[in-house]
Structure 1
Amino acid sequence: MKKISRRQFLTQAGNGLAVAAAVSGATARAFSAAPQSEKKVLIIGAGLAGLTCAYELKRSGFDVMLIEARVRPGGRVRTYRDPFADGLYAEMGAEYVDASDRNVRKYCRQFNLTVLTAKQYDGIYLRNRRWAMSNFKTNGLKLPYEGVMPGKLFNNEREYIQPWLDMIEDINNLPREVLALDNLSMAQLMRKAKAPKDIVDLYNYTNATESTIRPDEVNALGFVLGHYRAAGFSEDTNEGRILGGNDQLPKRFAKELTDQLYYGRTVKRISVHSNEAEVWYEEAGRLTLITSPRLVIAMPFSVLRKTQLQGKIPADKVKCIRELQYGHVLKLAMQFKKRFWDEPGSLGQRIFTDTLLRRVYHFSIDQPGPRGILLSFTSGDDARKLGQMKESQRMDRARQKINQIWSESDSHWEGGVSKYWNEDPFTQGSYSSLGVGQAKTFRALAARQEGIIHFAGEHTSGASMEGAIASGLRVSGEVKQSVDG
């Protein structure tokens, strides 16, 4: 089996709610007078999924209208620039472009964007102890965790699930004993396998970007299948990003959709009929009705479940929309006057930690100095804890934790900014994560076409920019097949 990245590991690993505003003042609106009405497509959501779908359908001659609640494109792709000095920037949302992300890379080439490969993680800070990654691996050092292997930071949990891995001969025909894992959490499975609690804790810390939910929420079937598909992932991950900011990619898509893209439209109600969809959106306090013979919903289920849905939507799809799990994620970008992490004797530039900050790394490798930014990606309960704090408290806590890792940091601190995605009204969570009882059916259910309604987004594919774009491509193909045959 081939070795895959952590991001690849993750990818492989009622009806509605708020009552819509009174519609007596709603204005009916046809978004095009084109004669080929069957080629009209309304798309909700201008994240990478909706943008890709709209872009490809427009190229194929469809009459597209794309509406977005925000006043910018990109969804969970969010690059911050204004809070920082000297031209620095930081990715506060989706970040990684793996070597295998062929669709992201294809569009980057098409739009003349460069993918920059990040430096590897070079330090570990766990239980108040420090290790240089090279020394840790070369000399087979052992972490102060029960049950771990020498020189091994990742994948210590694998030996405890080996009995289930050995049962799998055909991933498309799983034995009953493996399928039964859908009803367990990863934490329950590890207890069943007699794994020490330290193994679960270490997995939780080192997989901050792969699992934004707690181990007792992680689906055990998805967890095991992720290990089956991989010979094992490691800290040697090729984690790239777009030079100059990831937001350039959605902006390039949006530039190609100038006449089709409308911002500041918050969808309040969707009514599905056999040959027409009705969508009510709010703009500047006014409710407007749009009708379309075909609809693409490219908004997170965490938001869709709080939108009023009417019409014939199958019960299993309704259940998926209501219950699909989303995690907690918070990113902190911290500006320092000097890049002390590059100094001789420093622990390193990219560090795995068991602190509230989880994963901390130098973000400014392609940016001018001497100032620089350290970025923290934290998830699960730690993100929830920080998210409940005021911004000033988050920064105070971050400053304290950074100083624990790099004792020289405090004298260079200048400030920072955070983004807690669970308090974003247009996201209300991180990315989707399959919970207990959801691995066997929910991903396919989320993606399933329902008559004239199509569904795109990372929740239908894989929790990454690549997954979002892949879903947009899939849905554009579905629409073309449904209309053109």
Structure 2
Amino acid sequence: MHKHIDRRRLLEFLAALGAGSLSGCGDDVASTSTGGNLGTNGKGVIVLGGGLAGLTAAYNLMHKGYDIILLEGQDRVGGRVLTVRDGFKAGGHAEMGATRIFSTHAATLKYVKLFGLGPLKAYDEGKPVFFMRGQRFKPPSAGYSWPIADMTEAEKADPASFFGPYLHTGFEKVGDPHAANWPNDQPSALDLDKVAFEQYLLNQGASPGWVDWFRAMEGNIKRINACAGFAVEKVAAGVDGELPTSIPGGNDRLPQGLFRRARRAGQAQQQGRAP
């Protein structure tokens, strides 16, 4: 695959496909062909994007006999699933994109099982290290305060103890996202819809420092809509107290597995045997 393709060049390429041959991809297009010669049997599909959605679409279409060309604008597959290994030792890695898998993620778990990527592990196991505002530090030992200037003294002493006070009412207000007319029939959910997640936390008394600490712990959700944020977390968590998980060795093993399986299915098709 090639390193980068901008939107204009991709659209130009697709326009050219509409007027000419669908037999392959030019050198300027980040792509991989997982099937045979597109257009030879009337069952060809171009899949735009090699994130999980595109990869699962390509994988399943291949198994239904379609010839696939998968176009990806980056030099890797996975989309929001990004595992970084450079700079780490002994198999260490960091998740820079999607980090957590819940039991409610049925589609993800289906492919984790299919590709033998389990057993899953706790997504935050091990000792954390923080890098905030140009400063790198570990969580302080018991009895010492967190080195985050614009936290309150109580927050510095134990920021995790404020999860309940700052977040509990949000989960109550969001109501039941599974309800047929949600959120329109739930006024408290509509109230959450008026503010960003960060502003909601500030309204509950959180300091800017605590918000940034929360962001470092839970991901960059402070700019999203508060109603959406709480709804996603409530639906994802499923069972109360459930611990989220991740794939041992890195979550990018899932998109890589899908990519390899799709290519294998394409090669099997070309050789005239079942994938």
2:21 to 29, 42, 58: 29
Q: Secondary structure at the match of 1:206?
A: helix
1:101 to 91, 105, 116: 105
Q: Secondary structure at the match of 2:193?
A: helix
Aligned to 2:181: 172
CA-atom RMSD, angstroms? 4.9
Q: For residues 95 and 169 of structure 1, what CA distance do their matches in structure 2 show?
A: 24
1:251 to 251, 256, 259: 256
CA spacing shift, 1:186–1:171, aligned 2, 3 Å: farther
> What pairs up with 1:154-165 in 2 under 5 angstroms?
154-158=163-167, 161=170, 164=173
Q: For residues 84 and 187 of structure 1, what CA distance do their matches in structure 2 show?
A: 32
Shift of 1:67: 1.5
User: Is the 1:80–1:92 contact (alpha carbons within 8 Å) kept by the matching residues of 2?
Assistant: yes
Q: For residues 231 and 80 of structure 1, what CA distance do their matches in structure 2 show?
A: 26
Aligned to 1:145: 155
CA spacing shift, 1:90–1:56, aligned 2, 3 Å: same
Q: For residues 22 and 168 of structure 1, what CA distance do their matches in structure 2 show?
A: 37
Indicate whether 1:43 and 2:35 are aligned.
no
Give CA deviations for 1:20-44 in whole Å, capped at 9, x if unaligned: 5996995732142333x3x422101
Give CA deviations for 1:438-471 in whole Å, capped at 9, x if unaligned: xxxxxxxxxxxxxxxxxxxxxxxxxxxxxxxxxx
User: Is the 1:143–1:150 contact (alpha carbons within 8 Å) kept by the matching residues of 2?
Assistant: no
CA spacing shift, 1:71–1:168, aligned 2, 3 Å: closer
Q: For residues 169 and 104 of structure 1, what CA distance do their matches in structure 2 show?
A: 20
CA spacing shift, 1:166–1:201, aligned 2, 3 Å: farther
Matched length: 227
Q: Structure 2: which 5+ residue stretches go unaligned?
A: 1-5, 24-37, 143-151, 267-275
Q: Which structure is higher in strand share? A: 1
> What pairs up with 1:321-400 in 2 under 5 angstroms?
none
Q: Secondary structure at the match of 1:257?
A: helix
Q: Structure 1: which 5+ residue stretches go unaligned?
A: 1-16, 133-141, 262-485
Q: TM-score, normalised by structure 1?
A: 0.37
CA spacing shift, 1:203–1:230, aligned 2, 3 Å: farther
Give CA deviations for 1:48-90 in whole Å, capped at 9, x if unaligned: 22111110111122232212223433234344445445x4241
Q: For residues 251 and 85 of structure 2, what CA distance do their matches in structure 1 show?
A: 12
Aligned to 2:3: none
User: Is the 1:154–1:203 contact (alpha carbons within 8 Å) kept by the matching residues of 2?
Assistant: no
Shift of 1:160: 5.1
Give CA deviations for 1:390-427 in whole Å, capped at 9, x if unaligned: xxxxxxxxxxxxxxxxxxxxxxxxxxxxxxxxxxxxxx
Shift of 1:144: 1.1
Q: For residues 8 and 174 of structure 2, what CA distance do their matches in structure 1 show?
A: 47
**Amino acid aligned to 1:107:** Y
User: Is the 1:115–1:240 contact (alpha carbons within 8 Å) kept by the matching residues of 2?
Assistant: no
Q: For residues 77 and 237 of structure 2, what CA distance do their matches in structure 1 show?
A: 37
- Identity of matched residues, %: 25
Give CA deviations for 1:236-258 in whole Å, capped at 9, x if unaligned: 76343323333332222222222
Indicate whether 1:91 and 2:94 are aligned.
yes
